[in-house]
Amino acid sequence: MIDYRSKTPAELEVLMESWGEAAFRARQFFKWLWKPGFSGITEITELPKALRARLAIEGLVYDLKVQEVITSLLDGTVKWAFRLSDGAIIETVLIPSNSHTTLCISSQVGCGMGCRFCRTGTMGFERNLVPSEIAGQVLAVLEQTERERWPRNIVFMGMGEPLANFENVVSAVRILTHELGLNFSKRRITVSTCGLAPQIVRLGKETEVGLAISLHATTDELRDKIMPVNRRYPLGELMEACRRYRLPRRRRITFEYIIFRGLNHSQQDALRLSHLLRGIPSKINLIAYNQVQGLGFDAPRHEDVAQFQRYLLNIGFTAVVRKSRGRDINAACGQLWARALGRGDEERVNPG
Ligand code: SF4
């Protein structure tokens, strides 16, 4: 069966032409596929009856099933667990703020990158999501959210390493940003990676989305220990890829930096960071680690975070301390997955 929602408009055109149909039929079909509330192929009366019948026989319109949805009483963050057709669970988090709402989506089931501080990393990799499962998270959330709370920004910071599922993530971006579909601005989509250097350069060439790097260390020695990806692509190579990334105009690369107590928040770390990021338009998000039992890292004290931020500000960086959102509903990667599978683990996990 053809998964229609995994196809970009260009791919639907190829399909229609292979069936002897005009290319504009693909555009009509695509527009309906991504309309919030779309209920089925029979609804598309602008397509000829025979074409509707063939579409219904040869393929399917894939919908995500809601397994669980929880809203934070503290800050209105909403978290969905979606059950996929093979029973796998993924999570999607809607994060409201005063000025805009952001949607955090998943790109894989589990993750194979093995970051030592991350619960998803301990789950291992199960499979890549296809474009209908990636972009479908956005559609499902729009369908279940009042219009005034619809997200303006999309971040690939949920479960999985997006650049390890490169082709499907790029297709999902093309689907999400197409003017006939959900029409998100490329400037409002950010792909976050733990540091797959070659794919970073490719991403910049093939899309114009924002880029976030999960950095978390300023030496190869420490990064090798906490993020195995660094042994493949050490800091020098990662920074070179960032320099080559084709950023949208007036955009900066976001560097996510989790602070672990006693590990990575000294004045020397701040100085090393300034050397590493030289020549890269950047901003730094500081995140206090939330302790996860059994992983061997400690949460920093409030003053450690404030001090490290001061070091960075004095050097001239834009460095903000990111507030933890949805703490009462464990709105961070891997957590909902664990609950939905009945693992009953109540600790919060840090975002990748
Ligand atoms: S931090 Fe991100 S890349 Fe690393 S294991 Fe977790 S989900 Fe994967």
Instruction: Please state, in angstroms and rounded to a whole number, the distance separating the CA atoms of residues 116 and 296.
Output: 9
Tokens of 343: 């693992």
Q: What is the mean pLDDT of residues 275-285?
A: 95
Q: Are 7 and 130 members of one domain?
A: no
Please check whether residue 351 lies inside any domain of the structure.
no
Indicate the number of domains in the chain. 2
* Full residue range of the structural domain in which residue 233 is found: 65-340
Please check whether residue 111 lies inside any domain of the structure.
yes
Q: Are 41 and 107 members of one domain?
A: no
Q: What is the mean pLDDT of residues 267-295?
A: 92
The CA-atom distances, in angstroms, between 256 and each of 35, 137, 157, 201 are: 34, 23, 11, 19
115, 290, 337: residue to mutate for ligand 1 pocket, most atoms within 8 A of CB: 115
pTM of the model: 0.92
Phi, psi of 103 (to 5 degrees): -115, 125
Q: Look at residue 272 in the predicted model and tell me its pLDDT.
A: 98
pLDDT at 344 over 60: no
Please check whether residue 352 lies inside any domain of the structure.
no
CATH of the domain at 105: 3.20.20.70
pLDDT for 49-81, tens place per residue?
A: 999 999 999 999 999 999 999 998 888 899 999
| Ligand 1 geometric centre to CA of 100 (Å) | 26
Q: Which residue is listed with tokens 């500000």?
A: 313
Sign of the CA dihedral running 91, 153, 287, 162: positive
Q: Look at residue 15 in the predicted model and tell me its pLDDT.
A: 98
Catalytic (active site) residue 206: no
CATH of the domain at 47: 1.10.150.530
Mean pLDDT of the chain: 91
Q: Are 38 and 119 members of one domain?
A: no
pLDDT for 105-128, tens place per residue?
A: 999 999 999 999 988 888 899 999
Catalytic residue among 91, 133, 208, 256: 91
Instruction: Please state, in angstroms and rounded to a whole number, the distance separating the CA atoms of residues 290 and 305.
Output: 13
Q: Look at residue 295 in the predicted model and tell me its pLDDT.
A: 86
Q: Are 26 and 154 members of one domain?
A: no
Q: Look at residue 233 in the predicted model and tell me its pLDDT.
A: 98
pLDDT at 339 over 80: no
Q: What is the mean pLDDT of residues 190-215?
A: 96
Q: Look at residue 288 in the predicted model and tell me its pLDDT.
A: 92
| Ligand 1 geometric centre to CA of 157 (Å) | 9
The CA-atom distances, in angstroms, between 204 and each of 82, 134, 163, 241 are: 30, 19, 12, 10
